Amino acid sequence: DFTAFFAALGQEELNNYYVKLQKEYDDYKSQKLSLDMSRGKPCPEQLDISMEMLDLVKSSDSLHAADGTDLRNYGGLDGISEAKELFAQILGVSAKEVLIGGNSSLNMMHDTIARAMLHGVPGGGTAWGKLPVVKFLCPSPGYDRHFAICELFQIEMITIRMTNEGPDMDAVEKLVSEDDAIKGIWCVPKYSNPDGITYSDEVVDRLASMKTKAGDFRIIWDDAYTIHHLTDQPDPLKNMMDACKAAGNPDRVLQFASTSKITFPGSGVAVMAASENNLAAIRKQLSVQTIGPDKINQLRHVRFFPDMNAVHHHMKKHAELIKPKFDLVISLLEAELGDKQIASWHKPNGGYFISLNTLDGCAKAIVAMAAGAGVTLTKAGATYPYGKDPQDRNIRIAPTYPSLTELKTAIQVLCLCVQIVSLEKVMGQQGE
Ligand code: PMP
């Protein structure tokens, strides 16, 4: 597994290079850094651009929806129609297919799985939880919190390799056609967490039309980054709801999104979109669970975003703030690691992450070493089911929160650790 760069160095040069890197690492260590790149959080400047939204609901206002609903009171299980209209446009569905939730789409996904486990879903007879085993396909690297939901409900996770176009569909089609215990698949179809990949049209069509042995198979379409572009040429994503309808499987997809990374994480509005058939069943159960979500926050959001132009204008401001951070990471990776063949990465056109793949068996050691110098990264392995990366090579970089200065240092430390750990591996192999 020698890389050309290291192989070209003689034994002595290699040793000198290693000593030089170690010294640089020790220098960083003595700086007592405390830099956190572990979670995909907007930076304070990003939060600032939504502050005016807080002035759009005032005590002197009439807090009534267009249909006359008094938003200060109970009522409205699935959201105000203005909010449904807005999200219908964001998600490319009809307003009748939208259900507005609370402040977290993760919460909605969790509850969706919980309801399926307890009561089942339309098209399936049995509650999933009553079956001897339930399995989900997990394209990986993926979003750790999806996998945590499966773990909580003891849903067996099957790792599916990610390609540059989305999940490995040959593997997906084969598995779902043979095993009726496989009830679903987690998908982050646009600017995926963490790879930043957008599913191709072919992947969307194959997911929508594939034959599943389970009659109640569901695609959890977590479109969290659907409008989170970094460039003026956004990745196109084929409309999954349309594809499912065209394939005669209108109930197959459950879409999710939120304004967490549009306005305020934790104080945004979450949404689910699904066929009217699915939503009818969900509303029935939801009406026992809650009297309704926060309509005043929905009003704030629809006033802040009167139309899609306002949404896109706002997302451009986010991009202006975070694109320099993505550019910095990519250029540092290029400069420090580009010629060494010890790591690879994908340059995303949107979303919140850059996914770094190192040599096999190095990610855990790199993340630990970076932590030793005060740089916190997402735990190695977190991007795989059960926290176990079979090749121990994926590292998720979340560049949005730190300042440019902090980010520069953090990525330099990371690149240093990638080199040191890779070199140790190479030198170890040389000695064998
Ligand atoms: N889905 C994905 C893919 C995410 O990366 C995140 C984290 N922002 C979430 C869902 C959580 O979103 P929410 O704040 O709406 O729960």
Q: Is 265 in the pocket of ligand 1 (CB under 6 A)?
A: yes
Residue 63 in this model has a pLDDT that exceeds 70: yes
Burial group, residue 416, by CB count within 10 angstroms (0-12, 13-18, 19+): buried
pLDDT in tens, 143-162: 999 999 999 999 999 999 99
Buried b (16+ CB within 10 A) or exposed e, 228-251: bbbeeebbebbbbbebbbeeebbb
Distance 187 CA to ligand 1 centre (A): 12
Residue 431 in this model has a pLDDT that exceeds 70: no
Which residues fall within 8 angstroms of residue 34, CB to CB, at 6 or more apart? Answer: 374
Residue 281 in this model has a pLDDT that exceeds 90: yes
Q: Is 38 in the pocket of ligand 1 (CB under 6 A)?
A: no
The pTM score is 0.96
pLDDT band at residue 99 under the 50/70/90 scheme: very high
Report ipTM for this prediction. 0.99
Domains of the chain: 4-46+312-431 (3.90.1150.10), 63-306 (3.40.640.10)
Mean pLDDT of 384-405: 96
Residue 7 has a pLDDT of 77
145, 149, 264: residue to mutate for ligand 1 pocket, most atoms within 8 A of CB: 145
Report the nearest-CA residue for atom 7 of ligand 1: 40
Distance 265 CA to ligand 1 centre (A): 9
User: Which of residues 6 and 278 earns the better pLDDT score?
Assistant: 278
- Asked whether the beta carbons of 397 and 354 are under 8 A apart, the reply is yes
Mean pLDDT of 389-401: 96
Distance 15 CA to ligand 1 centre (A): 44
pLDDT in tens, 169-220: 999 999 999 999 999 999 999 999 999 999 999 999 999 999 999 999 999 9
Residue 432 in this model has a pLDDT that exceeds 60: no
Mean pLDDT of 247-263: 98
